[in-house]
Amino acid sequence: MREYPTPVAGFREPVSLLVDCDTGIDDALALAYLCSQPHVELVAVSCAPGNVAAEQVARNNLSLLELCGRPEVPVAIGARAPLRIPLVTTPETHGPHGIGYAELPEPHGKVHGRDAVELWVEAARARPGELTALLTAPLTNFALALRAEPRLPALLRGVVIMGGSYYYQGNTTPTAEWNTHVDPHAAAEVFAAFSGLPEDRLPVVCALETTERIEMMPEHVAALAVEAGCMEPELVLPDQPEGRRSTASNELVRHVSDMLRFYFEFHRRYDQGYVAHIHDYFAASVAAGTAGICTRTATVHVETAAPRLIGTTVADFRGLWGESPNARIVSENHPEEAFAELVRALGGLGRRLGSRSARNAPEAG
């Protein structure tokens, strides 16, 4: 086991990220969080088919980046479907547009003219050893990038994946997690590409057994609103009518609140309580270097044949298969710290954006 302690307050090592996401409510929180971090450079955001179709992911990403004051970040689309099986989306989890009840403004920007996979390979070749890949979606685009550039594991500074569940029940089938279930063949190709590399080159894998510990609750939304300077309490409560819209004075808080209300209702509908597992935010904090974690090296297998088990991930922590390790699976995290960081970061961003829009607001008259 290896420990990566939470960075000391005040110092955060600069990080340059290539993000691939299927925004997605928790992807949206992850992206907004990264926009709040001055030490994080967003080199490009690519859009994978998953929670919703890739075009909808792109619209969500363009609008969210503009909302968070980062309109310059390139947004590109790669694959429109998994490598070999039809795309299955999940409107019941993230809403028909992937962002719950939120209605993000129509983006001004356009999707980048280049294919996301080409952009990733070009960026990695241009900045060898500098870029970290954060993957919070089915791994289709990353598998295609590895096919185009097999040296990618050596060219990238690091890789963080939200995906899989290890000796822990799935959230899509009894044994499979969503990202690896949507495109199991891509996941299998990605883990195979890292087999045999030195431990510090292996992807850090945030899987359900740790991401479901990052369980957002209504009090976190309330705290976020306070941090953003909202005068009125932001109450998202289980006994309120479903679909109620936020009236928060702060635009970022309003959209986040509308996303999370949908996510709370979804988790309650599936007997998990009025909570929201914000998997991708946790993975983003790992990629940003702001989360204290421990990892265990393992050999990961992704099932691609057995119909009942397709997308299931299994980790061999003890070398029983006699195969080289291909992953560092997160084994410990700190939910309290994670939420203190999220509230502080997103609240601060909301406050800064709120004051910016107030400055730009037309004179009352």
Given the rule CB under 6 A, which residues bind ligand RIB?
22, 24, 26-27, 50-51, 136-137, 162, 171, 177-179, 279-280
Looking at the DSSP assignment, which residues form a beta bridge with residue 76?
A: 46
**Of 59 and 279, which CB lies nearer to ligand RIB in the complex structure?**
279
**Cβ-closest residue to ligand RIB?**
178
Q: How far is the CB of 54 from ligand RIB (least distance, A)?
A: 13
Q: How far is the CB of 5 from ligand RIB (least distance, A)?
A: 25
**Of 87 and 226, which CB lies nearer to ligand RIB in the complex structure?**
87
| Whether 217 contacts 339, CB under 8 Å | no
Three-state secondary-structure class, residue 91: helix
d(CA 192, CA 195): 5
Q: Which does 171 bind (CB under 5 to 8 A by kind): Ca ion, ligand RIB, none?
A: ligand RIB
Half-sphere CA count of 72, side-chain side, radius 13 A = 3
**Of 225 and 302, which CB lies nearer to Ca ion in the complex structure?**
302
Q: How far is the CB of 22 from ligand RIB (least distance, A)?
A: 5
Distance of CA 87 to the CA centre of its chain: 19
Strand 40-47 and strand 75-77: the pairing is parallel
Q: How far is the CB of 341 from ligand RIB (least distance, A)?
A: 19
**Of 62 and 222, which CB lies nearer to ligand RIB in the complex structure?**
62
d(CA 124, CA 101): 36
Binding region for Ca ion (CB under 5 A) = 22, 24, 27, 136-137, 280
Count of beta carbons in the 10 Å neighbourhood of residue 222: 18
Residues 6+ apart with CB under 8 A from 310: 173, 176, 181, 184, 303, 304
Q: Which does 285 bind (CB under 5 to 8 A by kind): Ca ion, ligand RIB, none?
A: none
Q: Which does 313 bind (CB under 5 to 8 A by kind): ligand RIB, Ca ion, none?
A: none
Residues 6+ apart with CB under 8 A from 275: 215, 216, 217, 264, 267, 268
Q: How far is the CB of 186 from ligand RIB (least distance, A)?
A: 13
How far apart, in Å, are the Cα atoms of 309 and each of 42, 290, 301, 303?
A: 36, 34, 12, 6
Q: Which does 141 bind (CB under 5 to 8 A by kind): ligand RIB, Ca ion, none?
A: none
Residues 6+ apart with CB under 8 A from 1: 294, 295, 296, 331
**Of 211 and 312, which CB lies nearer to Ca ion in the complex structure?**
211
Three-state secondary-structure class, residue 314: strand
Q: Which does 178 bind (CB under 5 to 8 A by kind): ligand RIB, Ca ion, none?
A: ligand RIB
Q: How far is the CB of 8 from ligand RIB (least distance, A)?
A: 29
**Of 293 and 353, which CB lies nearer to ligand RIB in the complex structure?**
293
**Of 89 and 195, which CB lies nearer to Ca ion in the complex structure?**
89
Q: How far is the CB of 60 from ligand RIB (least distance, A)?
A: 12
